[in-house]
A and B are shown apart, each in its own frame.
Chain A
């Protein structure tokens, strides 16, 4: 089902997402140029930190949240074959989110909220920044509720039947988001908002960091799940095969939901306010959550291999060449899996409890997350946009070739930009610094890598502009499609009835409740028993 309400809602959400993305890429280019120290006339810490704060917020919060909401509405109606529950409410959610973004954007662009997308008090931003960010989260809760209601409606209408995989994953993401955002919501409501409005003089930074860490890890799964939906539900079909195992896919989503949540302390390994016992506990969970990703890699590669062999590929690697590399969805899957492997390796270093000290807060970290987030995740967002655009606008993509050029150039640009960042990180360059020359010989070794980083940034910006251009031109000038075809593309093979624990979230929400209480209960309560001294607000 692809009614006009859904089309419109999805397109409106997507345009905010991709508009934010395109804009933020210009900030990104400015940042690599400024950071390189090669152009003294653009150097300014004030502009740099306003820029990084804006870039981070646009990419991590605006692009992702709006893309996920739009994709969720589309997936729910398309896979459940039922209209959106309460479209007025959905539009209200959209409005609240957008209003929040505008409210936060003003202080960001004026340099009144250069506190980075991670907030990190006691440096204080203008109150409108925190209010805007909170509204963005609140609006997205409306989306999550709509997803969950639609799942329940479908289940009531189809007792005993198995929820289609794409919707199962989308509902998992809605639950994941409600749990995930609770951490930062508590930080906002009990700490940041009253403090920035002057109702409270001081702020317990240890507590604030603990609550933010609650959100900071699972949020990456919130961003990742749509990408995994693409891998499971679109890629096998696009490659000319079928999904290797529908049930293991469900298991992977459940494992992400359950283990992705109680592990935020790997962001606090280097922090003094939590004891190492808790950090060790979260470390174990951090590695456990690698399992669903390893499963996903296997299932998707196996599906691709089956498709490649069906297309006549032979031998150990022949099937790879036989894949339809010119299909955007397949190409995106291959490129993003490559980046996932490299980024996953880096992630294991980050997660390693003691080894983390070598890379913590160095340029390695933006290298890592640009590779896996701006690389793997965003490449699959691109592919989903190319997949859905014709069906949302009723027009053919204006150019198949340019789509491939865009995907390849993004991959190449990411490679050129993130490789030197990893090296720079190992050489000790901190993240989040503007151009700087420390007067130390050690830091002279950084220079050659900065040039590569700039080249990578240019390639990426061109690719990003091409992406937005292709979508815009398709929507305005694309050749009309004759008929609105059904659900070609989305994997909706019938599945046998599954045990309730694989078809429902009730049990899993209870498991998460227990795990969260175990892993965050004492670490949060300790701040009410410790004699803490909270600092006052600081400017920058």
Chain B
């Protein structure tokens, strides 16, 4: 079926429905305006999602939250900004969220460059959000949260926990320093103390 005949089938359906319901003239107009608005919103979201690949963090990958510290990519000495960038130049940052902090507590990253965060919880639900940016993800125990973004503006940002995680939830944050690309130096291969 080509798009023309599809459109005409749909509009004949709408007509049948409107006569069966005895829809008033004004209402018909409004129904079309309402449909138009919804199509516009859904259309622009689908466009950015499918064409430009803009998606919220949806990385279905499981991990054993109880044994993060025993080794693997979330072991204490592997956390923080990774010395080696990914093939496309993206910087990889690994964090562990646990009551009550994101570890390591301070990281430094350059503005204007793609940053991929991989975050795992070692206990309960947490959420990570850097205010005024779109760096946001839920951190669900048992799953790896992965979110990629670019920080356009240098500055000091807090990374706040935004999902209730216990009595210390209010005090769960860490510090993210976004430097200009010139000032940024790749971390040396050193053991980081939090």
Contact = CB atoms under 8 A, between A and B. Distances in A.
Asked if A and B bind, the verdict is: yes
Interface of A: 45-46, 49, 116, 120, 122-123, 204-206, 209, 244-245, 247-248, 251, 268-276, 279-280, 283-284, 287-288, 290-291, 294-295, 298-299, 302, 348, 352-354, 356-358, 360-362, 426-436, 438, 440-443, 499, 502, 526, 530-536, 538-540
A414 B48 CA distance: 35
Given A205-B140, A247-B22, A291-B35, A535 B57 contact: no
5 contacts: A272-B143, A291-B34, A362-B129, A428-B132, A533-B65
Contacts of A204: 142
A294 B34 contact: yes
A247 B21 contact: yes
B31 interface: yes
B142 A284 contact: no
Contacts of A302: 26-27
B127 A538 contact: no
Nearest to B125: A120
Contacts of B161: 430
A353 B167 contact: no
Nearest to A440: B158
B54 interface: yes
A360 B64 CA distance: 26
Given A275-B60, A426-B132, 12 more contacts: A123-B165, A245-B27, A272-B137, A279-B56, A291-B38, A302-B27, A430-B129, A432-B169, A434-B170, A442-B157, A531-B62, A538-B123
Contact of B42 (A275, A284, A443): A284
B134 A287 contact: no
Contacts of B144: 272
A533 B63 contact: yes
Contacts of B20: 499
B140 to A, nearest CB: 5
A283 B42 contact: yes
Interface residues on B, range: 35 or more
B143 to A, nearest CB: 4
- Looking at B134, B136, B161, which has the most chain A CB atoms within 10 Å of its CB? B136
Given A247-B22, A291-B38, A533-B63, A209 B140 contact: yes
B59 interface: yes
Interface in B112-156: 123-125, 127, 129-132, 134-146, 156
Contacts of B21: 247-248, 251, 502
B164 A120 contact: yes
Question: B-side binding surface: helix, strand, loop or mixed?
Answer: mixed
A120 B141 CA distance: 11
B75 interface: no
B54 to A, nearest CB: 5
A354 B55 contact: yes
B163 interface: yes
A430 B26 CA distance: 43
Q: Which 5 A-B pairs have the closest CB atoms?
A: A428-B131, A430-B162, A276-B58, A436-B170, A533-B64
B167 A49 contact: yes
Given A356-B56, A430-B162, A280 B49 contact: yes
Contacts of A438: 158, 160, 173
A206 to B, nearest CB: 6
B137 A270 contact: yes
A45 B125 contact: no
A283 B137 CA distance: 18
B136 A357 contact: yes
B187 interface: no
Contact of A442 (B136, B140, B158): B158
Contacts of A502: 21
Interface in B18-48: 20-24, 26-27, 30-31, 34-35, 37-38, 41-42, 45-46, 48
B54 A354 contact: yes
A45 B169 contact: yes
B181 interface: no
A272 B129 contact: no
A272 B124 contact: no
A429 B55 CA distance: 23
Contacts of B130: 428
B171 interface: yes
B164 A49 contact: yes
Contacts of B164: 49, 116, 120, 123, 432
- Looking at B21, B35, B46, which has the most chain A CB atoms within 10 Å of its CB? B21
A56 to B, nearest CB: 11
Contacts of B173: 438, 440
Contact of B142 (A45, A280, A534): A534
B72 interface: no
Contact of B124 (A247, A352, A442, A538): A538
Nearest to A273: B143
Nearest to A44: B167
Nearest to B46: A280
A361 B129 contact: yes
Given A294-B34, A353-B56, A535-B124, A361 B163 contact: yes
Nearest to A302: B26
A272 B127 CA distance: 11
Nearest to B33: A294
Contact of A353 (B49, B146, B162): B49
A428 B160 contact: yes
Given A245-B24, A436-B171, A431 B162 contact: yes
B66 A430 contact: no
A290 B33 CA distance: 12
A244 B26 CA distance: 11
B168 interface: yes
Contacts of B139: 272
A270 B63 contact: no
A535 B142 contact: yes
B124 A123 contact: yes
Nearest to A278: B58
Nearest to B139: A272
B194 interface: no
Contact of A354 (B49, B158, B162): B49
B61 interface: yes
Contacts of B129: 360-362, 428, 430
A276 to B, nearest CB: 4
A221 B135 CA distance: 31
A291 B170 CA distance: 39
B142 A276 contact: no
B56 A276 contact: yes
A204 B173 CA distance: 26
A499 B63 CA distance: 53
Nearest to B67: A533
